[in-house]
Structure 1
Amino acid sequence: MPVPVILDCDPGHDDAFNILLAAAHPSIELLAITTVAGNQTLAKTTLNARRVCSAAGIRGVPVAAGRDRPLHGPRRVAEDIHGGSGLDGPRFGQEEPDVPLDPRGALTLLRDILLTHPTPVTLVPTGPLTNVAAFLLAYPELAGRIERIVLMGGSTGRGNTTPAAEFNILCDPEAADIVFRSGRPVTMFGLNATHQVRATPEVVARIAALGTPLSALCVDLLTYFASTYREVFGFDAPPLHDPLTVAHLIDPSLTELVRAAVTVELAGTYTRGATVVDLHGVTGRPADTEVAVHVDAEGFWRLIVEAVRVLGDGAGPR
């Protein structure tokens, strides 16, 4: 049976590919897309989610806007990586996407789906964890309807926004702390894993060779993404972080996971937002989080290229 999934995201170049992968693959039942402020403001990330769905013919999947700022502290965006629109590169034009915005809002949509879906649902957050934490606080009685939380964020090592902290966790450390301590099964794909799947020129050429409007849009996305990663981090190819979450749900053999205790640093002068991953069990805390440590990069890219091929004519998943 397909895995019932709700994507919670902040598109974002890599989020866009995660939407495509979740919509295209028959082993995923994409129930909804909720958006959060992160890579850009909420208005922009929500528009971007609708733009991606429109371009790929993904219809019938509700898109709802969530929280526009973190639970605590100032809002930050990643304009240096994702541009002023949050999805720079392709020319979407000024026309309104034909995929509408669900009027219920993210938390109400999540509640409605968890109450009515016949089986527990997997949440896949790939931006700041504000929406998920806010939901857990608002509806604790529905936590048991969450099968697991498979997230992109954190790292077993160093960060990418500060020396210690990865962007998604740093945007809302208090929300991340709530999620990791929620008691629901959590699987974490951090920078140590996502940096293993880089969109090399060979990968971009494979997508370009599909020769569809969607593949051309994806090439534009990856070309822009490569330019900012080269300028900001000196990378020769950009890591496509977020789709590792859905790729793992499609084919768990692509990723090696270990169990570890994960703590979010909330108060460190230089380390706020860091994920402290106890890989060697030195703290004595329960090893209650699955942490990705190794990825089959070629298997991952096969899934991505196939998703772009399946959706390439803009007629939606089949």
Structure 2
Amino acid sequence: MTPQKVILDCDPGHDDAMALLLAAGDPRIELVAITTCAGNQTLEKVTRNALAVCAAAGIDDVPVAAGAAGPLVRTQMVAPDIHGESGLDGPVLPAPTRSIDPRHAAQLIIDTVMAHEPGEIVLVPTGPLTNIALAMRQEPRIVERVKRVVLMGGAYTRGNRTPAAEFNIAADPEAAYAVFDGAWPVTMVGLDLTHQATATQDVVERIRQIGSPLSDFVVEVLRFFTSSYKEHQGFDAPPVHDPCCIALIADPEVVTTEDAFVTVELTGTWTSGMTVTDFGNAYGRDHNTQVATVLDRDRFWDMTIEAIRTLSTARQGGAAS
């Protein structure tokens, strides 16, 4: 089976770090580029975090480019209550071992998509969708060349930034609107799905038992994430949102989806950033999005833990040689 080529556009972030590890450690995924966008923290911080995760996991051969420092038109928002002042509080972050690609993230996305055959690249945005919207605007041809967009964002029943809006969509609603409105296949992996991906203590213990520096790093990531989610959102175990996108691509059986029409509310006084989701035909619009609804949680954690084990083994083998 040929691995699926993926561009991961992220804002690390604890769950973004988990998505990076799953994308790098699952053999069904080929991570071809990493791009960063201001979201959970400032662009400088999330880019530094992405490089730190790469250093921890031995991700040495994938270009990393920094992108948008803020949303298209709105005031920037960050999430220090969940991710801390660094954006990845908890573990000791290793020093980056590599430099940033000089291109803007949007340009790296464009260059990568255009260098591959149509239908080869899947875009996986796990933060605000600013870089994706900028790339669409700069080079509209990528829309017809990208195989699909699998994004972490939105919800069909709830929000977490506001009662109506999930953080990634609320952070840049105009960019999100452009992505959902684009003529490419979109899959929305929203809160209704990701809240099923809880990192319970038995999961943390399974990761701890791998017994490697990387697994220790992940345990510390989840320790802080557990504490912040308990304090600020009342979860006994934190949901790791972002790796659900990678899991769906690697193994479609992990996630159940349902077709719907999805758009983003831009003008509502109390509902800006809401992902309005019509599973029926209330608006008379063609369904434009696959909406993730049910997670096979055991299968998800099995593949995530195996990816951490694989990366740990590779790191230990490299150190031995």
Assess same fold via TM > 0.5: yes
Structure 1 residues 131 and 80, CA, compared in 2 at 3 Å: closer, same or farther?
A: same
Task: Describe how 1:30-179 pairs up with structure 2 within 5 A.
Answer: 30-92=31-93, 96-119=95-118, 120-179=120-179
Give the C-alpha shift of residue 276 in structure 1: 0.6
Give the C-alpha shift of residue 99 in structure 1: 2.5
CA–CA separation in structure 1 for the residues paired with 2:65 and 2:168: 19
Q: Could you tell me the TM-score, scaled by structure 2's length? A: 0.96
Query: Is 1:25 aligned with 2:26?
Result: yes
Partner deviation per Cα, 1:228-260 (whole Å, 9 max, x = no partner): 100011111000000010100111011110000
CA–CA separation in structure 1 for the residues paired with 2:220 and 2:134: 34
Q: Which moved more, 1:217-226 or 1:305-314?
A: 305-314
Partner deviation per Cα, 1:255-288 (whole Å, 9 max, x = no partner): 1100000010001111000001112322211111
The 3-state SS of whatever aligns with 1:140 is coil
CA–CA separation in structure 2 for the residues paired with 1:140 and 1:115: 11
**What residue number does 1:265 align with?**
265
The 3-state SS of whatever aligns with 2:6 is strand
Amino acid corresponding to residue 160 of structure 1 in structure 2: N
The 3-state SS of whatever aligns with 1:315 is helix
CA–CA separation in structure 2 for the residues paired with 1:247 and 1:263: 24
Q: Which moved more, 1:136-145 or 1:126-135?
A: 136-145
Q: Could you tell me the TM-score, scaled by structure 1's length? A: 0.97
CA–CA separation in structure 2 for the residues paired with 1:146 and 1:15: 22
Give the C-alpha shift of residue 145 in structure 1: 1.5
State the percentage of identical aligned residues.
53
Task: Describe how 1:215-294 pairs up with structure 2 within 5 A.
Answer: 215-294=215-294
Kept after mapping to 2: 8 A contact 1:33/1:64: yes
Give unmatched runs, 5+ long, in structure 1.
Answer: none
Q: CA RMSD in A?
A: 1.4
Partner deviation per Cα, 1:27-51 (whole Å, 9 max, x = no partner): 1111000000000000001000000
CA–CA separation in structure 1 for the residues paired with 2:231 and 2:78: 17
Q: Which moved more, 1:111-120 or 1:9-18?
A: 111-120
The 3-state SS of whatever aligns with 2:312 is coil
Give the C-alpha shift of residue 214 in structure 1: 0.4
Q: Which moved more, 1:231-240 or 1:136-145?
A: 136-145
Amino acid corresponding to residue 127 of structure 1 in structure 2: G
CA–CA separation in structure 1 for the residues paired with 2:57 and 2:47: 16
**What residue number does 2:312 align with?**
312
Amino acid corresponding to residue 172 of structure 2 in structure 1: D
Give unmatched runs, 5+ long, in structure 2.
Answer: none
Kept after mapping to 2: 8 A contact 1:34/1:64: yes
Kept after mapping to 1: 8 A contact 2:170/2:274: yes
The 3-state SS of whatever aligns with 1:312 is helix
Give the C-alpha shift of residue 317 in structure 1: 10
Kept after mapping to 2: 8 A contact 1:58/1:316: no
Give the C-alpha shift of residue 313 in structure 1: 4.6
The 3-state SS of whatever aligns with 2:90 is coil
Structure 1 residues 121 and 98, CA, compared in 2 at 3 Å: closer, same or farther?
A: same
Aligned pair count reads 316
Kept after mapping to 1: 8 A contact 2:153/2:191: yes
Give the C-alpha shift of residue 118 in structure 1: 3.6
CA–CA separation in structure 2 for the residues paired with 1:98 and 1:118: 31
CA–CA separation in structure 2 for the residues paired with 1:317 and 1:224: 29
CA–CA separation in structure 2 for the residues paired with 1:316 and 1:184: 41
The 3-state SS of whatever aligns with 1:149 is strand
The 3-state SS of whatever aligns with 1:228 is helix
